[in-house]
Amino acid sequence: MIDLSVRIKNLKFETPFLNASGVWCTTENEIDEILKSEAGGVVFKTMTLEKRVGNPEPRLYVTDDFSINSMGLPNLGVDYYCQIASKLKKYQKPLIASFAGFKEKEFYILAEKIDNTDFDGLEVNLSCPNLEGKGIFAYDLDLSFKILKNLKKITKKVIGVKLPPYNDRETIKKIAEKFLQLKIDFVTLINSYPLGAFIDTKNERLVIKPNQGIGGLGGRVLKPISLAQVILFHKFSQGKIDIIGVGGVETGDDVYQYILAGAKLVGVGTRLLKGPKIFSNLKKQLEKIFREKKINKIEDKLGQLKDY
C-alpha cells in the first residue's frame, strides 16, 4: 500500500505536489483547477496590499530547458485572495497564502489580514527578484530574521519562508540555525535564480522587456542548484524544518530526487504553465518508482541520500 501523504505540522497533504506560487494561481478559477487536480494543496499567487498589474510585456520566455521571467508580482491584491479562501475550503486541501511587502511594515499588515481568514498557512516571500529598483529581502539576513520574528508574534498559523539561492554553505547554515530558533515550520527552496538572460539572435535583442531584459531563471536548468540548496538546508536544520523543493520538477524521478535530498513536498513552476494535468502524471510516475523500490511512504526515503 503506497501512501504519498505528508504533513507540515497539522496540515495534511494527500500528495506531495504543489504549484510554485506565481504559476496557475492568480484567479479563483485557476486555483480551483489546481485543487481539483492531484495536487496536495495550493500556494496562492504572492499577494500584495494592493492589486498589481506587474511589469510590461513581454515578461516571460519559456523553452524546454529553462524559463526567464520578470513578472513584477502581478496579483489581485490581498483582500481578493482572503475573500475567495473561504469558498475554496470545500476541497479540504491546505490553502497557503504567499505574500510580500515592499517595506517591512507591509509584511505585518498583510499577515494580520491573512491571519483572520480561512488560509491554513503562510509563505513569506522574501525572495522576489523581479521588482525594478528593489533589492531581495532575503539577502539582508538581519532584516529577514527581524521580519520573521515579528511575524511569529502576529500569527499562530503554519508559517514558512520562500528563499532565493545562496552561493555559500555558511550562509545556508546560518539561516537554518536561525530558523530553528525562530521555529519556522517550512522553507520553500528555491525561488528563481535572480539574474538570467537570453538573446534572440535573429533580432539581436533580449527576449523579455523589463529590468533591461534580465529576469529570474527557472525550469529544468535550475534543478541542480535547487537540489544543492535542499541538501544543505536539510543537513544544517537537522531535518527539523520541512522543505518544499522547487526547480525543474517535470517527472516522478525529479520528485524522487528531491525527496532523497530532503524535500517533503515539491512545487511545480515552469512545467505547470502547460496545465494542472502534470500533477496526475507526477503521481503515477512516483507511485511506479515506489512500487519498483518497494517503498511504502515518503518518510522512508526522506533525506536518505547514500554516501558515494
Q: Where are the domains of the chain?
A: 6-54+72-193+222-300
Mean pLDDT computed over every residue of the chain: 97
Give this prediction's pTM.
Answer: 0.97
- pLDDT-derived band at 73 (thresholds 50, 70, 90) equals very high
Q: Is 25 a catalytic residue?
A: no
**With bands split at pLDDT 50, 70 and 90, how would you rate the model's confidence at 131?**
low
- Is pLDDT of 133 > 80? no
Q: What is the pLDDT of residue 53?
A: 97
Q: What is the pLDDT of residues 74-119, one digit of tens each?
A: 999 999 999 999 999 999 999 999 999 999 999 999 999 999 999 9
Mean pLDDT of 146-151: 98
Active-site choice (31, 78, 128, 138): 128
- Whether 46 has a pLDDT exceeding 90, the answer reads yes
For the domain 6-54+72-193+222-300, what is the CATH superfamily, name and number?
A: Aldolase class I (3.20.20.70)
Q: How far is CA 208 from CA 69, 71, 170, 185, 275, in A?
A: 7, 10, 34, 36, 22
What does the pLDDT read at residue 226? 98
pLDDT of residue 134: 72
pLDDT tens-digit profile of 1-37? 999 999 999 999 999 999 999 999 999 999 999 999 9
Mean pLDDT of 164-191: 98
Query: What mean pLDDT is predicted for residues 194-205?
Result: 98
